[in-house]
Amino acid sequence: MRLRSTCRSLFGALVLFVGGTVGLLACTSARAQDSVYLINDSTTVADLGFRFVDSQTLEPAQLELQIATAAPGFFETGWRRPLASVIPLFGKPGVYPFNAIELQKDRVRLERYYQRQGFPRASADYLVRYDSTSNDVAVLFTIREGPPLVIDSLTFVGPGGPPAGEQLAPALQPAWRRFRDRTALQQGERLDAFRLVQLQDQTLGWLRERGYAFADVSAESRVDSVALEADIRIKMNAGPQARYGQIFVEGAESVNPVVVRRELPFAEGEPFDQSELTEGQRQVFGLNLFQLAAVSISDSLSQPADSLVGIRVLVREGPARSITGFTGYTSAGGATARTQWTHRNFFGGARAFTASLQAQTGLGVVAQDPQIAYEARLSLRQPYLFNRYLSGTIEPFARLQDDVIERSTQY
């Protein structure tokens, strides 16, 4: 009776503290913790943990990302905290205030997160232990996952309900069956929102890589809340197979748009393939002329009625010219220096021209026989020779070497 009376008094005091919020903190033995009514605006969170009843599917690290309550990390506690303040590698220690209202919201956040992960009956609760000496609390969440929601059936359907594969060209039927049978979701597996969205994206990507640029994919689930089973229908409208339409280059100022277009693995009138956009972006960026290169579908340039996909190539030019240099010293070669001048669009066409000078002078050398060397080098690279897979480089040079082993001039 005495213990129950103590608990009721502690609970009532806390309710007054949070302004009428009921049931925020779990009450435990008065001997196990200090009075929770001493919690104030300066109270901090010292520890945060999770306890799982019956089963554990999700990791605590995942759950910590879903809640507002946070606790100090390993390097922010004990004797390590002063070190974290002075060592940049650890980062500055944070402040972790305790908020009873946010704690209640965290319970709801965890339950909703578990529901999205396929646990519709999951429940979360918490226990708070207060230490008046340090004015901090330890928070422990208790998770009961409950049974998962499993997939009873998964079907792909087209407009009106027929099998989705009937929309596709006959040559694609074998590849479609392989994709359908190897999907990320299978009968009997747990259904979560992320994997369902992932399956939609994979299906849409598969279609667009095979020319169906205007395809549309959505998902519909029918859930039996008693048996905890779900019937999943992936609705797929493939549309017509498309071809590339207008290719518009935006942001090219000193660079001719033709230079950009010739690096793309596709041209107007060719069959559309989504994967070629990524390859084209990589090729354009590889010219070393741009700080930004993005290749994407342009809705304003596309003509769905004619099955033509407009492409927008967005680039942002970087400095065309650059000069670098360094100096140093070695005991055998003495004072050394190197300088290099580069033009990344030499006379247009994305040609790269480089002129470099290097000198190992022997000045101030410590060794008895200094190693002296001078070198001048020119380099001209043509990135496109008849096609984007072939490039050519001319690199004349002259080198003078004078040391105990060799005295020579090379060209």
Architecture of domain 243-317: Roll (3.10)
For 127-157, b/e burial (b = at least 16 CB within 10 A) is bbbbeeeebbbbbebbbbbbebbebbebebb
The whole-number average pLDDT for the span 138-167 is 93
Chain segment 121-147, per-residue pLDDT in tens: 999 999 999 998 999 999 999 999 999
Which are the contacts of 48, defined by CB distance < 8 A and separation ≥ 6? 64, 69, 70, 71, 138, 139, 140, 141
Which are the contacts of 390, defined by CB distance < 8 A and separation ≥ 6? 384
Query: What angle separates helix 193-208 from helix 173-181, to the nearest 10 degrees?
Result: 170
Q: Please give the Cα distance from 243 to 270 (Å, whole number).
A: 5
Cβ count within 10 A of residue 371: 19
pLDDT of 70: 93
Residue ranges covered by each domain of the chain = 2-144, 150-237, 243-317, 321-410
pLDDT of 38: 81
More confident residue, 15 or 255: 255
Dihedral angle at the C-alpha atoms of 179, 183, 186, 189, nearest 10 degrees? 170
pLDDT of 186: 83
The whole-number average pLDDT for the span 201-224 is 94
Does 243-317 match 150-237 at the fold level?
Answer: yes
- pTM (2 d.p.): 0.71
pLDDT of 306: 93
Q: How confident is the model at residue 244 (pLDDT cuts 50, 70, 90)?
A: very high
Share of the chain above pLDDT 70, in %: 86
Query: How is residue 351 written in tokens?
Result: 């040609």
Chain segment 26-36, per-residue pLDDT in tens: 434 333 455 66
Q: Please give the Cα distance from 115 to 123 (Å, whole number).
A: 9
More confident residue, 308 or 5: 308
Query: How is residue 367 written in tokens?
Result: 């060794």
Measured between alpha carbons, how far is residue 295 from residues 101, 261, 302, 336, 357 in Å?
46, 11, 14, 44, 38
Query: How is residue 153 written in tokens?
Result: 């059936």
Q: How confident is the model at residue 84 (pLDDT cuts 50, 70, 90)?
A: low
pLDDT of 78: 60
Dihedral angle at the C-alpha atoms of 168, 172, 174, 176, nearest 10 degrees? -60
pLDDT of 85: 59
Q: Is the pLDDT of residue 21 over 60?
A: no
Q: If you average pLDDT over every residue of the chain, what do you get? A: 86
Chain segment 392-410, per-residue pLDDT in tens: 899 999 999 887 677 878 8
CATH 2.60.120.380 fits 2-144, yes or no: no
Query: How is residue 328 written in tokens?
Result: 């140093």
| CATH no. of 150-237 | 3.10.20.310
More confident residue, 387 or 117: 117
Which are the contacts of 127, defined by CB distance < 8 A and separation ≥ 6? 25, 26, 28, 139, 140, 142
Q: Is the pLDDT of residue 366 over 80?
A: no
pLDDT of 29: 36
Lowest mean pLDDT, pick from 18-22, 32-36, 236-240, 263-267: 18-22
Q: How confident is the model at residue 63 (pLDDT cuts 50, 70, 90)?
A: very high
Q: How confident is the model at residue 364 (pLDDT cuts 50, 70, 90)?
A: confident
Half-sphere exposure of 209 (CA within 13 A, CB side): 13
Q: Are 301 and 311 in contact (CB under 8 A)?
A: yes
Q: Please give the Cα distance from 376 to 397 (Å, whole number).
A: 6
Chain segment 267-302, per-residue pLDDT in tens: 999 999 999 999 999 999 999 999 999 999 999 999
Cβ count within 10 A of residue 158: 16
